[in-house]
Amino acid sequence: MRRLGGVIADWLDDRTGFRKLRRHVLDEPLPAGTAWWFTLGSLLLFGLGVQAVTGVALALYYAPTPDHAWDSVRYISTEVRGGAFLRGLHYWGASLVVVAAALHLLRVVFFGSYRKPREANWIVGLVLLHVILALGLTGYLLPWDQRAYWATVVAINMARLTPVAGDWLAAMLSGGADIGALTLTRWYALHVLVLPAVLVALVAVHLYLMRRHGISGPVKSRQGASQMFFPHQAARDLTVAVAVGVLLAILAWRGAPPLEPPADPTSGDYIPRPDWYFLGLFQLLKYFPGRLEVIGALVIPGLAMTFLALLPWLDRGRTREANRRLTVLVPFTAGLALVATLTTMGALDRPPQQGRAWSIREIAGASLIDTSERCTRCHGPDRLAASIEPGRIGKPQDWLDMHVADPEVIAPGIREPPETSQSETAAIRAALARLRSTAAPAVDAPTTRLYVNFNRFCLNCHVMDGVGGTDGPELTHAGRKLDVVTIELRIIDPVTIQPDTEMPAFGARIPADDIRALAQWLAGKK
């Protein structure tokens, strides 16, 4: 068997020359002292490999159209066996690639590995970094949820700030005035066709130049003979890749961030936030509003990249030792600290709308969606329309508003318009807006009934926790001034408490038990 294997290997070598290629790859001589810091380049290659494999697998299920992109990502996450883990690998793999690229850049700078004769490879590496970030940006749009859509709007608006070619670049990215099918198609093509091809070409050039000039080795030259890449450095590379791969698998097991609601161009109150590796730039833009935005978006980042590109020529130190290169390392470290600070500030500066608790009106609206004939007559299993599920609402808000107010506008002949009920309509609209991203909180039946009654009879005139009308006094802290008996009498017949009041009597409209429950609840609002 061994002899047969040798014959086959000789035949393959005669036809392909694989032994020479193997020796070229594994027998690379490395300077003495090359160790763990020089595994970062291989880690980056590992991360890119993970992204390539998982990206191809995701592309088998993904549909790059606005009507189907969000549903296809949801299908991957919920229906495909191992789909959530696969998407998690791709999501966290993107962060791995950015971290590995950044650490590799830091190692090159602090070790002075960009110096002569490696200037060209340094420039190629910087271009590679931009391609990696571009892959992250274009991939960000593909889920076609609210976060993806509005972050892309910000990116396209920033593109318009580009001198001379700004409008052309923005039009190329967006396909016109509005972000829609053409935008998604173009960004998908960039993400899976153009940028990967550029990436592969640049990686090949980068590796060729690295082999041509060799690895720079430790900052201080060490005595001793050079060693081959295999087995010592190869073992280090493999150890790092396996360790990071295990961490990546653990993160992927937790899954990628959940999908937000489908992209809604009419949602003008959404506050976009980019992924963490763009948070520094995102935070920087906050300090340059209006016409000054071009400074934060282009001028400062442009100056930083120019400084990095010119490092091989600005570094006049006689050796690669840090104390000989303070003129470039000090500003570089200061810039690094600034980027870290801005990124941290951007991560901490979260918009107040995220994580907001459901209001009484929204909870009441969710209950009405589940129980009111206005919704259940048509929506549900085996009915004219599908059930209304959290995270599965794809229609824009203006469409929903019209449909809730008068179904005949959207679906003629389905049923008669509902009886006019301003409070119920407002509650259902509010609930549908929240159900785009999250399910309603679990509330027991008595509390739900109380909320529905309060929304129907009270919220049109009174504010509760920031929501409601202003014709009557705010009730957020009603219990500080009124007791249960007084509140109950006000609801039954307010004239007995305040003769000149304009508040109508509800004694004949609300059952006595419900009035008592409302009074007790309001009295507890301290």
Per-domain residue ranges of the chain: 1-28, 31-262, 359-444
Least confident of 163-172, 304-313, 435-444: 163-172
> Token pair 């709007």 is at which residue?
153
pLDDT at 178: 53
Whether the Cβ atoms of residue 434 and residue 269 lie closer than 8 Å to each other: no
Whether the Cβ atoms of residue 437 and residue 399 lie closer than 8 Å to each other: no
The C-alpha atoms of residue 106 and residue 188 are separated, in whole angstroms, by: 31
The C-alpha atoms of residue 183 and residue 171 are separated, in whole angstroms, by: 9
Q: Tell me yes or no: is domain 359-444 CATH 1.10.760.
A: yes
Whether the Cβ atoms of residue 211 and residue 28 lie closer than 8 Å to each other: yes
Burial state string for 357-395 with b = 16 or more CB within 10 A and e = fewer than 16: ebbbbbbbbbbbbbebebbeeebeeeeeeeebeebbbbe
Burial class (CB in 10 A: 0-12, 13-18, 19+), 354: exposed
Of the pLDDT bands very low, low, confident and very high (cuts 50, 70, 90), residue 408 is low
- Inform me whether the pLDDT recorded for 79 exceeds 80: yes
Burial class (CB in 10 A: 0-12, 13-18, 19+), 165: exposed
Number of helices and strands (H, E) in the chain? 24, 4
Which residues touch 476 (CB under 8 Å, ≥6 apart)?
463, 464, 465, 466, 525
> Token pair 């993107």 is at which residue?
94
Helix 300-309 and helix 119-141, axial crossing angle in degrees, nearest 10: 150
pLDDT at 160: 62
Nearest to 280, CA basis, from 214, 322, 336: 336
Which residues touch 442 (CB under 8 Å, ≥6 apart)?
none
Q: What is the mean pLDDT of residues 264-272?
A: 66
The C-alpha atoms of residue 315 and residue 100 are separated, in whole angstroms, by: 24
Phi and psi angles of residue 356, each rounded to the nearest 5 degrees, phi first:
-65, 135
Whether the Cβ atoms of residue 451 and residue 363 lie closer than 8 Å to each other: yes
Nearest to 136, CA basis, from 62, 199, 73: 199
Of the pLDDT bands very low, low, confident and very high (cuts 50, 70, 90), residue 177 is very low
Of the pLDDT bands very low, low, confident and very high (cuts 50, 70, 90), residue 237 is confident
Burial class (CB in 10 A: 0-12, 13-18, 19+), 467: middle
Q: What is the DSSP string of 254-317?
A: H-SPPP-SBP-TT-TT------GGGHHHHHHHTTS-GGGHHIIIIIHHHHHHHHHHTHHHH---
Q: What is the mean pLDDT of residues 15-36?
A: 73
- Inform me whether the pLDDT recorded for 19 exceeds 90: no
Whether the Cβ atoms of residue 75 and residue 61 lie closer than 8 Å to each other: yes
Burial class (CB in 10 A: 0-12, 13-18, 19+), 478: buried
Question: In degrees to the nearest 10, what's the CA dihedral of 260, 262, 263, 269?
Answer: -60
pLDDT digits 0-9 by tens, 480-520: 888 998 888 999 888 888 888 888 898 889 999 998 999 89
Which residues touch 345 (CB under 8 Å, ≥6 apart)?
283
Q: Is 113 helix (H, G, I), strand (E, B) or coil?
A: coil
Q: What is the mean pLDDT of residues 371-394?
A: 80
Report CA-CA distances (Å) from 256 to 82, 93, 95, 367, 433: 12, 10, 12, 30, 23
The C-alpha atoms of residue 393 and residue 435 are separated, in whole angstroms, by: 7
- Inform me whether the pLDDT recorded for 252 exceeds 90: yes
Q: Tell me, yes or no, if the pTM score tops 0.85.
A: no
Pairing of strands 29-30, 463-464: unpaired
The C-alpha atoms of residue 148 and residue 257 are separated, in whole angstroms, by: 12
Options 3.90.226.10, 1.20.810.10, 3.40.50.300, 3.40.50.1980; CATH for 31-262 is 1.20.810.10
Which of the residue ranges 89-103, 149-163, 452-466 has the most confident prediction, judged by mean pLDDT?
A: 89-103
